[in-house]
Chains A and B, each alone.
Chain A
Amino acid sequence: MPSLADRGRNSRGSGLELALRIAAFVALAGWIANAARPAVSRRETVRGASLTAALPRWTHGRVDSVRVQLDTVPDPASLAWLAALRGAGVGVTWSGATISDVALETYVPTDPTGGVVALVASREAEPRVVSDALGPVDTLRNGVSIIRLASVEGGLTVTSGNQAARAQAAAVAAPRRILVAGAAGWEPKFIIAALEERGWQVDAHLSVAPDREVTQGGALAGLDTARYSAVVLLDSASAENARGVEPFVRSGGGVVLAGDANLAARVAGLVAWRAGKRATAPLGTLAGDTTWRGLSLLSLQLLPDRRAIVLEQHNGQPVVTARRHYAGRVIGVGYDQTWRWRMAGDDSRIAHRDYWSRVVSSVALRPASATSDVRTGAAPRAELYEALGPPSAAGRALAVNFSPSAVSGALGLVILLSLLSEWLLRRSRGAR
């Protein structure tokens, strides 16, 4: 007759055996269920053209890993689908040595004439075709190109080889007015004319006597971004009298400081440069010389402790400089006789007009985008990397989680170990 201790030991052993049997039965059920799923290929490779047909098959069937050989970056929906498969445990790898690199970004400049600026980059030497919904609009050959288009219908597409990048410029509200201030003279007169010819709405305050100003656009009510996008100050006196210019820039307005205006104490906190000596063109220089832009200039020496960039140099000396000041931008222009450049020729007149419009546009307050959710840039290869990671040379899966065969193997191992343990326990207590 077994002792009490033997009976207790037998009771614990039979409980453990029961648990092991249950575990073996559960594992067996799982193994059967796993084996009952439809048989599928474990690894599949397709070319890009077959991807659309393969994606549903991979989703509804079962695959361990897939490998995609791409000629072009898949469309966004297919790319998102692949990323989702990868997230669900399917090993997704890709290769695409023949994919052309092309990237496109578009924006609407702050300019009354509107249009769209497109920045196109590519490593390929082959021509890139820029087109919109109505057809091709330009062909580019350089690696990096910036083009300005008067209008775009339905977004832009740049095609390089077999790869296309698509982007749509976000619409922005029309720029507000520009204020021009300075002593009456040819320079302000022709700058105002140039800006108005480009469609800017210009208010002007030009002093003609100590107590007299010639105004255009009404009395100066104060600088406010609700009214003005930018202010153009053309001499030191106008800059000294520009009350509120610092808060104006701080709140997003733009300031153009031309010639002596860069010397004014009132704008010292806005600039990161110091006006140097005036240089005049050597005798014989034509007024239409683009490098002189009107025969005389002030160099603008950058101060070491403030951040600014040089936009234009002349003989190694900065002439046009720019910096940010809180939400606004400030640009310093060393040229102060650009009216001579304008008068020098018909081409110069157009160049002068474009130049000043570009200067003002570069600092003018940019109203918030009306459709800010519209994509403004496209870099297909970057999007491919973001979705699937870098390409792989072989068929090694990037993510191998719980594949069906691995599950079956694991379950079989559980069954085997459970039954073996249960048998050993039974034998150890003398039972059959």
Chain B
Amino acid sequence: MVNPVAVANPSEFVFATAQYESGDWDSAPLVGPNLVDSVARYTSLRVAPTPVIVALASADVMRYPFLYLTGHLPVRFSEAERANLRAYVNRGGFLFVDDHNHDIDGVFHKTAMEELTRTFGPLRDLPNNHELYTTFFRFPDGPPTTSHELNGWGDNLVHKNLQAFLVNGRIGVLYSSKDYSSEWGYHPESKRFYAVDNTRFGVNLIVYALTR
């Protein structure tokens, strides 16, 4: 079925959070609104003010070429979710997966990586000079470090790289162990308390997805 709102705004960017059947897919509800605010603040891109939630097994996923997936708990994709996700990425969709535990020994990381590997094949380290890091804001050292990496929480590691699965040279799946879900999970109004907006890398993710 057609979403009349989406039809009326054909080129509008809609932030979509993936709702999967296992785990806690809704663990970071403020990330969407916060990134939408940042995109509207820094760019002239047309962006829908309200993020949406879309079931991973649903055909509606294909209406949102940018998809955010996070959680703390084990992730197990159903066959329908796996098939849908594979088709989504092969057709040009961009899936951003973030480990909300910031723990490579945690259940989310282990199970999510298993599922992604089973669906797409092994993910590779994304070089820190990839255009993702310069497409709007410049991050010459690669993915920005989060406060959760620096304060010893989770696995107590600073992860040097993100992992990615490429389709025709473009990022189809981007995986982060850096817990951007915690880093960006606050009300947009609170940006004024930061000397440097820590959601700027989120803008790069969206600009990259819209241009590559």
Contact = CB atoms under 8 A, between A and B. Distances in A.
B3 to A, nearest CB: 9
Interface stretch (B5-13, B68-76, B98-106, B146-154): B5-13
Interface residues of A, number: 38
B187 interface: no
A185 B92 CA distance: 13
B96 to A, nearest CB: 15
Contact of A343 (B11, B91, B170): B91
B45 A185 contact: yes
A102 B129 CA distance: 60
B91 A346 contact: yes
B50 interface: no
Given A296-B10, A346-B90, A287 B62 contact: yes
B46 interface: yes
A364 to B, nearest CB: 22
B110 interface: no
B91 to A, nearest CB: 5
Given A339-B65, A342-B91, A185 B2 contact: no
Interface in B159-212: 168, 170, 207, 209-212
Interface in B22-62: 42-46, 62
Interface in A173-218: 183-190, 193, 196-197, 204, 206-210, 212, 214, 216
B2 A208 contact: no
Contact of B168 (A188, A189, A196, A295): A196
A280 interface: yes
A358 B210 CA distance: 23
A187 B46 CA distance: 13
Contact of B207 (A188, A214, A337): A214
B10 A197 contact: no
A349 interface: yes
A33 B212 CA distance: 89
B63 interface: yes
A283 B4 contact: yes
Contacts of B212: 189, 216
B11 A342 contact: no
Contacts of B91: 342-343, 346, 349
B135 A214 contact: yes
Contacts of A206: 210-211
A340 B63 contact: yes
A284 B211 CA distance: 29
B104 to A, nearest CB: 32
Given A184-B211, A190-B92, A208-B207, A343 B45 contact: no
B93 interface: yes
A210 B44 contact: yes
> How many residues of B sit at the interface, in one of the four size bands?
20 to 34
A58 B65 CA distance: 76
Contacts of A189: 65, 92, 209-212
B43 A208 contact: yes
A397 interface: no
Interface in A265-323: 280-281, 283-285, 287, 294-296
Interface in B78-93: 87-88, 90-93
A231 to B, nearest CB: 17
B139 interface: no
Contacts of B2: 281, 283-285, 287, 295
Nearest to B203: A208
B136 interface: yes
Contacts of A283: 1-2, 4
A113 B8 CA distance: 36
A290 to B, nearest CB: 16
Contacts of B211: 184, 188-189, 204, 206, 208, 214
Given A212-B136, A342-B91, A346-B87, A186 B62 contact: no
B92 A296 contact: no
B67 to A, nearest CB: 12
Contacts of B62: 287, 340, 343-344
A20 B170 CA distance: 101
29 contacts: A184-B207, A185-B13, A185-B45, A186-B11, A186-B13, A186-B65, A187-B10, A189-B209, A189-B210, A189-B211, A190-B65, A193-B92, A206-B211, A207-B44, A208-B207, A209-B43, A214-B211, A281-B7, A283-B4, A284-B1, A295-B2, A295-B10, A336-B10, A337-B10, A337-B11, A342-B91, A343-B63, A349-B90, A349-B91
* Nearest 10 CB-CB pairings of A with B: A185-B11, A343-B62, A337-B10, A214-B211, A184-B210, A209-B43, A184-B211, A280-B7, A208-B43, A206-B211
Given A185-B13, A208-B43, A208-B210, 18 more contacts: A184-B207, A184-B211, A185-B210, A188-B211, A189-B212, A190-B65, A193-B92, A193-B168, A207-B44, A208-B211, A209-B44, A214-B207, A216-B212, A296-B10, A337-B10, A343-B88, A343-B92, A349-B91
